[in-house]
């Protein structure tokens, strides 16, 4: 009994019908692609959130800065009006008569606000002198309509009415006069 020598099957030559990896029976890549996969790839949302955040972030930062500036302007105006009320009350408490106290409070409040850079559309200074007696108090209320016209885009009203009240004591010893002999009268 003779047996025929066996030779291993030779590897098939690479043809157009096989894949580049050389595996037998594997289709080419173009045959594997489906139209649905290509459409799904174009419609995929992977990475779109990062792109959207990158595009929107500068606008959000600008809006945040704009809001901070408007808030700062309002707080600054409130502080300046409060300071002007204190200055006006002190100026009124130094005066001797109610009429001069009222005039001093109005002029001091107006000059303090203009020196601080606060522009009021309407300024009102109400002074309660209470007789200007020693040991009494002087109350000054400063009301100012601050213009926020450039912040209308954020829904801030064009004008905001801000007011501050300050109370100062009238000096207890201010009406005491001293005679030449050194005694009080």
CATH code, 100:
3.30.1300
Task: Kindly state the average pLDDT of the residues 102-120.
Answer: 92
pLDDT > 70? residue 128: yes
Say which residue, 150 or 62, is predicted with more confidence. Answer: 62
Q: Is residue 28 part of a domain?
A: no
- Collapse the DSSP code of 138 into the 3-class scheme (helix H, G, I; strand E, B; otherwise coil) and give the result: strand
For the CA atoms of 37, 38, 43, 48, what is the dihedral angle to 10 degrees? 100
Q: Is residue 35 part of a domain?
A: no
Say which residue, 95 or 38, is predicted with more confidence. Answer: 95
Residue owning tokens 């009429």: 99
Angle (nearest 5°) at CA 170 between 139 and 167: 25
Backbone angles phi, psi at 52, to 5 degrees: -65, -40
Query: Which range marks the domain in which residue 62 is found?
Result: 49-169
DSSP letter at 89?
Answer: H
pLDDT > 60? residue 27: no
Other Cβ atoms closer than 10 A to 147: 16
Give the model's pLDDT for residue 176. Answer: 45
Alpha-carbon separation of residue 38 from 34, 43, 49, 81, 160 (angstroms): 7, 9, 21, 67, 59
Q: Is residue 13 part of a domain?
A: no
Alpha-carbon separation of residue 101 from 90, 98, 144 (angstroms): 10, 5, 20
| Torsion over CA: 173, 175, 176, 177 (sign) | positive
pLDDT > 90? residue 83: yes
Q: Assign 185 a pLDDT band (cuts: 50, 70, 90).
A: very low
Q: Is residue 20 part of a domain?
A: no
Q: Is residue 177 part of a domain?
A: no
pLDDT > 80? residue 82: yes
Task: Kindly state the average pLDDT of the residues 143-169.
Answer: 80
Say which residue, 4 or 33, is predicted with more confidence. Answer: 4
* Sheet of 120-128, strands arranged across: 120-128, 137-147, 159-169
Give the model's pLDDT for residue 48. Answer: 76
Q: Is residue 107 part of a domain?
A: yes
Give the model's pLDDT for residue 75. Answer: 87
Give the model's pLDDT for residue 177. Answer: 44
Q: Is residue 87 part of a domain?
A: yes
Evaluate whether 86 touches 78 at the Cβ level (below 8 Å): no
What's the chain's average pLDDT? Answer: 77
Number of separate domains in the chain: 1
pLDDT > 70? residue 88: yes
pLDDT > 60? residue 14: no
Q: Assign 138 a pLDDT band (cuts: 50, 70, 90).
A: very high
Q: Is residue 135 part of a domain?
A: yes
Say which residue, 20 or 146, is predicted with more confidence. Answer: 146
Backbone angles phi, psi at 157, to 5 degrees: -65, 155
């Amino acid at each position: 009994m003779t047996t025929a020598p066996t030779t291993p099957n030779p590897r098939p030559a690479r043809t157009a019908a096989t894949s580049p990896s050389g595996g037998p029976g594997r289709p080419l890549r173009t045959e594997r692609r489906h139209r649905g996969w290509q459409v799904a790839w174009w419609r995929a949302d992977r990475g779109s959130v990062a792109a959207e955040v990158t595009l929107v972030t500068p606008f959000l930062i600008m809006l945040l800065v704009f809001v901070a500036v408007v808030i700062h302007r309002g707080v600054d105006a409130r502080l300046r009006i409060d300071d002007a009320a204190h200055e006006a009350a002190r100026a009124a408490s130094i005066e001797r008569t109610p009429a001069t106290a009222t005039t001093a409070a109005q002029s001091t409040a107006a000059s303090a606000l203009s020196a601080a850079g606060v522009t009021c559309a309407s300024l009102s200074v109400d002074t309660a002198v209470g007789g200007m007696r020693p040991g009494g108090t002087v109350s000054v209320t400063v009301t100012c309509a601050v213009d926020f016209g450039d912040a209308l885009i954020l829904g801030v009203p064009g004008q905001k009415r801000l007011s501050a009240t300050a109370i100062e004591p009238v000096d207890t010893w201010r009406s005491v006069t001293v005679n030449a002999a050194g005694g009080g009268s």
